[in-house]
Structure formats: C-alpha cells, structure tokens
Amino acid sequence: MLRLNKIYLIKLIIIILFCLLLSGCWNRREVQELNVSTAIGIDYEVIEGKPQYTLSVLTMKSSQQNIIGGFGSSQSKAQTSRVVTVQGETVYDAIRNYSMRSSRMLFLGQTLVIVLGEETARK
C-alpha cells in the first residue's frame, strides 16, 4: 500500500513538472514587432520572358500624437497606412522579399481583403 502511494506521488510530481515546463511563450510575437496586413493584392505578369508575381501589402501602423485640450494634454493614436509593393518569381518569394525589406515581420492573420489580378486568378 505504501509503495503504491509512492508510485502515485512520483507520477503526480512528474506530471506537474511537465505542465510547468511545457507552458510558456517561446514563440511569442510582440505587436510592436509585427506588420499587420489589412489587404493584399497579388498580380502575375511576364517581364522580359520571366514570370513575376507582384505583391502589394497594405499595413496599418499607429503613431502617437499629443493633443492639447482645454483641460490638459492627452494622447491619442492616429492610424496611418502604408502600401509596400514587391516582386518575386513566386508568391512565397515575393513575401520573402517583403520580409527582407522591412524590419518588422509580416503578419497575415488579420488580412481582411485579398485581391487577385485576372492573370493570377486564371492560374
């Protein structure tokens, strides 16, 4: 009976240790380090005999502005947008070229609109 309780206690301790070690934020991404895309446009064209995909990404970035009111100063955030256009031999290559041009990582999880050109839609 005593041996059974020891085995049960050891298993319980191991399970608790696994739960503590497996939870965490190893792959976390800070919002300040991301370019959150709102819309993406993809177009296909042949330039000098080579196929090229053109990727246009609309991202929103917030900038803080100080607004001085009648009762003191307060801060508000003004939204500004930015469109970046890159080219690549594939869509993946164009996204990689975008990542090389920007200091922030492109986050496509909040994309609301994807616009495909006529030639891209046919392929």
Q: What is the pLDDT of residues 8-33, one digit of tens each?
A: 999 999 999 888 777 667 677 777 78
Mean pLDDT over residues 113-118, rounded? 92
Half-sphere CA count of 72, side-chain side, radius 13 A: 2
Whether the pLDDT of residue 61 is over 50: the answer is yes
Q: What is the mean pLDDT of the chain?
A: 81
Q: What does the block give as tokens for 102?
A: 């920007």
Q: What is the C-alpha separation between 54 and 40, in angstroms, rounded?
A: 10
Q: What does the block give as tokens for 91?
A: 């869509």
Q: Per-residue confidence at 68, pLDDT binned at 50, 70, 90? A: very low
Whether the pLDDT of residue 77 is over 70: the answer is no
**Residue 53 identity (one-letter amino acid):** Y
